[in-house]
Structure 1
């Protein structure tokens, strides 16, 4: 049994990873910004990512840290806070990190790019912090989750005409498949950067929106929209894809069949 700490364990991916670790018989702790009642094989710890308060105590005796905490733009700062806490605790856990395919291939220079697509360079900076920390690490990159594309689809299809960035492509994968791979890595030795995990199919963003509309029985039209900037061109060129690592099983159509109902 390993003592495993999960950062971001109450987030979307964390809620899939944590039960898998518990079922594997591991001693699981979760760092949260607010108190949660411990139970179901999980102990919750409170820590502040802004100040670092509580993090050194949380990581102190962890053998593995599965790092899922972060947001759209501040992943580098969160990673630095984690590394500082590990050093303050005098610990040397195995850090398992999740990142995004194509993180180094999407240029983000303009203010618009940073606001809309800043996640990619933010994740790249996070990777570099962990790689340069001197702490044993494993880094897994994944393509877009079905679940996050669904969130975008539900928001965009509320409009009379559904905008779709011209040429943008995606290779979505089920989040639970990524969670399964993260748990496998957490139970193994540090490996550095491991092969990416990507969904089974490549689609244009517009085709994915059309598939969602069809699934819910909506006749709303889609309209291609030109998004300026180098980051948008990179998405259209497939910088966020990895067809050679199409290891995911669940397709977008299968996901929609399970998660949406016709109106």
Structure 2
């Protein structure tokens, strides 16, 4: 079975991907910024994405690299660091990358757009780096995770009046469903860009916030707020959606019932 490396394996999505891989392959290695005790079929290695220290040894011998590492704005630099390490290690693993639906359709021209929605073009830039690497690759785009929308809703829900960006839409999907698909792709042959993975329903962001408030028993009102910029207009126009790929199973309401209902923190 393939020796598999997971970057970003200690993040939210990584913690769902790694256990599935442990059940399916002989060796699973996880890149982390800080030390973790190896065990339960997982080898943890420390590497620095900024300096590249430790990355070459991390990727050495891997047949498959599931690339989940990244942040709001530095996904391109992270992808470039990964490729440098792969070349220094001197082999050609299958790169399996996770990205976001509509990555190339959300323009970012202002500082405000970059701070709020810069993740989208950053992920698209990372896609281009990996696709142009000359290595075998597979790229999966997914819509917004339920869990990430919940984080935003919890933060906004603490305000006396809850702002909701005017017209913004989302098609949230369970992160575990994305994890399952990534593992399936990691176990297969390189496929290039595969069909997008999107949640079962499209909602306005305001409706999702209202659903969260209702789930936690909050009567705080929501108020529409106009967010300036081309990126905001793209979200309102549905650039981040894939209605023809609504293959996810868990709905936002089902997720809220499980994670934000009475008795939940």
For normalisation by structure 2, the TM-score amounts to: 0.98
| Superposed counterparts of 1:105-254, under 5 Å | 105-254=105-254
Contact 2:211/2:253 (8 A) holds in 1: yes
Give the CA RMSD over aligned residues.
Answer: 0.7
Question: C-alpha distance in 2, partners of 1:60/1:201?
Answer: 41
* Poorly superposed stretches of 4+, deviation over 6 Å: none
- CA shift at 1:25, angstroms? 3.5
Aligned to 1:163, the other structure's residue is in SS state strand
Aligned to 2:172, the other structure's residue is in SS state coil
Q: How many aligned residue pairs are there?
A: 263
- CA shift at 1:73, angstroms? 0.3
**1:93 matched residue in structure 2:** 93
**1:21 matched residue in structure 2:** 21
Aligned to 1:96, the other structure's residue is in SS state strand
- CA shift at 1:91, angstroms? 1.3
Write the deviation string for residues 51-75 of structure 1: whole angstroms up to 9, x where unpaired.
1111111111000000000000000
Write the deviation string for residues 112-155 of structure 1: whole angstroms up to 9, x where unpaired.
10111000000000000000111110000000000000000000
Contact 1:59/1:91 (8 A) holds in 2: no
For normalisation by structure 1, the TM-score amounts to: 0.99
- CA shift at 1:27, angstroms? 1.1
Query: 1:12 and 2:15 equivalent?
Result: no
